């Protein structure tokens, strides 16, 4: 198998998915969870986009590009909603982690 | 070719380092700063993959607006935590907020972190194996798009896919955007309903923000309008242009040059629904002549431009308000 730029970026996207998932699992701060979710998301986009670049000529497949632009906008909508929920949660409880994480920390 | 590949490898390393620092960084603010850097690096990788449209969207939305959202939330939480303690002087309040922040940002104990690291490595490994198993060269849908491009009314293939071939997706997306704003607004506390959304700033008259707030909006408005117009035959379009207009508007509000519109403003609500309504209307008109969202080649360009203009207005307004969030109680208490 020859190494191409597209393959490199696809593998980069794969590792980003791993890094983002790790952050999502290990950090309880809700804003960090939102951030990790965005890292996973852009890793998925990079993977899809790089796989769409396996075309023969100089031009990439435009269909994945259109899907990714849609995805980026939807990810922002979700992030905005998540941030609004986090701020409301902080406003109601004064805590930046979920109740079950509080229990695990022992107070 | 090898030089290009070396650049790609270096860029991937930079992206992964920035992502690692963003996810695992000790301080939340530094993590957010690294996340913005990471978004810009990803934007460069899109250029290397020949996806200029995606690069514009990633830098403007993925790095820019998401970064503003996260920094805004960080500051709001910090203000709230700072207010929890006794009244302190400026530096004292900062320290109290720092301490509260450190206590609120727990890390899993080491053994469980190790388990998580192994699990995520397995996940990445399986995905990598799947990627390696795919054929190295496929035409994808490029031939199909190239064949029909002449009938689409535009010559930028990405715009053709977004607004003609897969217009269905884009119509749904514009509605998702609107629904997200409805959901965010639904979190408005009862007493503040209908008010101006948060983000009200008091920029110093001679500060950096106030200067940028005066200098950048005219330039930004020009770039945004150009991108919307250019989208039909070169990289750009309603989403990228609309995002830049949203950013310009937010900047003007943050610099105190403009006021955020009230949630109850009728004019604002009209701007929010204009895009989806025009899109849906054109789609239904198409249905009357045959196919829902089917544009005849003869009128396609005019219809797409009409949809893009209406969408850009709605996207700019919706994105700006999504970032601005819900109204917040004023007066410090």
Name the token pair of B179.
């629904």
Which are the contacts of B248, defined by CB distance < 8 A and separation ≥ 6?
Answer: B216, B217, B220, B221, B224
Nearest CB to A29: which of B22, B28, B319? B28
* Neighboring chain A residues of B23 at a CB cutoff of 8 Å: 19-20, 22-23, 27, 32, 35-36, 39
Strand boundaries in chain B, DSSP class E: none
Name the token pair of B309.
């203009």
* Domain residue ranges in chain B: 157-333
- In the structure, how many helices (H) and strands (E) does chain A have? 4, 0
Instruction: For residue range B234-267, list pLDDT tens digits in order.
Output: 888 899 999 999 999 998 888 888 888 888 899 9
Phi, psi of B311 (to 5 degrees): -60, -40
* Neighboring chain A residues of B63 at a CB cutoff of 8 Å: none
The rounded average pLDDT for each run of 10 residues, N- to C-terminus, in chain B (333 residues) is 89 97 92 97 95 94 93 88 51 58 77 95 97 89 90 90 91 95 92 79 71 88 93 89 93 85 91 95 89 85 92 95 85 44
What is the CATH T-level fold of the domain A9-93, as seen in this structure?
Helix Hairpins (1.10.287)
Which are the contacts of B299, defined by CB distance < 8 A and separation ≥ 6?
Answer: B153
Output the pTM of the full model.
0.91
Residue whose token pair is 């597209």: A6
Residue B5 and residue B84: Cα distance in Å, rounded?
53
* Neighboring chain A residues of B138 at a CB cutoff of 8 Å: 54-55
β-strand partners of B107: A27
| Coil/strand/helix, residue A88 | helix
CA distance A98 to chain B (A): 11
Q: What is the largest CA-CA distance in chain B?
A: 70
CB contact under 8 A, A7 and B131: yes
Q: What is the ipTM of this complex?
A: 0.94
Q: What angle do CA A58, A63, A65 make, to 5 degrees?
A: 75
Size of the A and B interface in Cβ pairs below 8 Å: 286
Instruction: For residue range B176-207, list pLDDT tens digits in order.
Output: 999 999 999 999 888 888 888 875 566 666 77
Question: Which residue, among A80, A103, A106, would best test binding to B if mutated, counting the most B CBs under 10 Å from its CB?
Answer: A80
């Amino acid at each position: 198998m020859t190494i191409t730029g597209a393959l490199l970026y696809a593998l980069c996207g794969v590792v980003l998915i791993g890094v983002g998932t790790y952050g999502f699992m290990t950090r309880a701060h809700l804003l960090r969870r939102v951030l990790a979710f965005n890292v996973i998301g852009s890793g998925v986009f990079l993977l899809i986009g790089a796989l769409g670049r396996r075309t023969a000529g100089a031009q990439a497949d435009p269909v994945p590009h259109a899907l990714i632009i849609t995805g980026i906008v939807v990810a922002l909508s979700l992030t905005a909603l998540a941030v609004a929920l986090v701020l409301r949660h902080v406003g109601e409880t004064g805590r930046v982690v979920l109740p079950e994480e509080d229990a695990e920390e022992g107070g | 070719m090898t030089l290009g590949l070396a650049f790609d490898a270096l860029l991937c390393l930079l992206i992964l380092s920035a992502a690692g620092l963003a996810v695992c960084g000790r301080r939340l603010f530094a993590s957010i700063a690294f996340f913005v850097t990471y978004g810009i690096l990803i934007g460069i990788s899109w250029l290397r993959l020949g996806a200029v449209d995606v690069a514009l969207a990633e830098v403007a939305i993925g790095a820019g607006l998401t970064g503003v959202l996260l920094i805004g939330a960080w500051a709001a939480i910090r203000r709230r935590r700072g207010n929890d303690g006794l009244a302190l002087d400026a530096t004292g309040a900062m320290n109290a907020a720092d301490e509260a922040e450190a206590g609120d940002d727990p890390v899993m104990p080491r053994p469980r972190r190790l388990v998580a690291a192994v699990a995520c490595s397995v996940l990445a490994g399986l995905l990598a194996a799947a990627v390696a198993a795919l054929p190295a060269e496929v035409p994808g849908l490029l031939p199909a798009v190239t064949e029909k491009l002449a009938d689409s009314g535009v010559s930028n293939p990405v715009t053709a896919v977004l607004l003609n071939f897969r217009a269905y997706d884009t119509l749904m997306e514009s509605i998702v955007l609107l629904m997200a704003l409805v959901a965010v607004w639904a979190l408005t506390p009862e007493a503040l309903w209908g008010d101006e959304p948060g983000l009200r700033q008091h920029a110093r008259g001679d500060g950096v923000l106030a200067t940028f707030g005066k200098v950048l909006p005219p330039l930004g408005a020009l770039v945004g309008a150009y991108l919307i117009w250019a989208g039909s035959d070169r990289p750009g379009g309603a989403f990228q242009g609309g995002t830049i207009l949203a950013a310009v508007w937010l900047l003007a509000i943050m610099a105190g040059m403009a006021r955020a519109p009230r949630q109850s403003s009728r004019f604002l609500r009209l701007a929010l629904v204009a895009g989806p309504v025009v899109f849906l209307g054109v789609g239904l008109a198409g249905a009357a002549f045959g196919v829902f969202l089917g544009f005849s080649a003869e009128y396609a360009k005019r219809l797409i431009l009409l949809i893009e203009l209406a969408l850009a207005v709605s996207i700019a307004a919706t994105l700006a308000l999504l970032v601005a969030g819900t109204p917040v109680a004023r007066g410090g208490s």
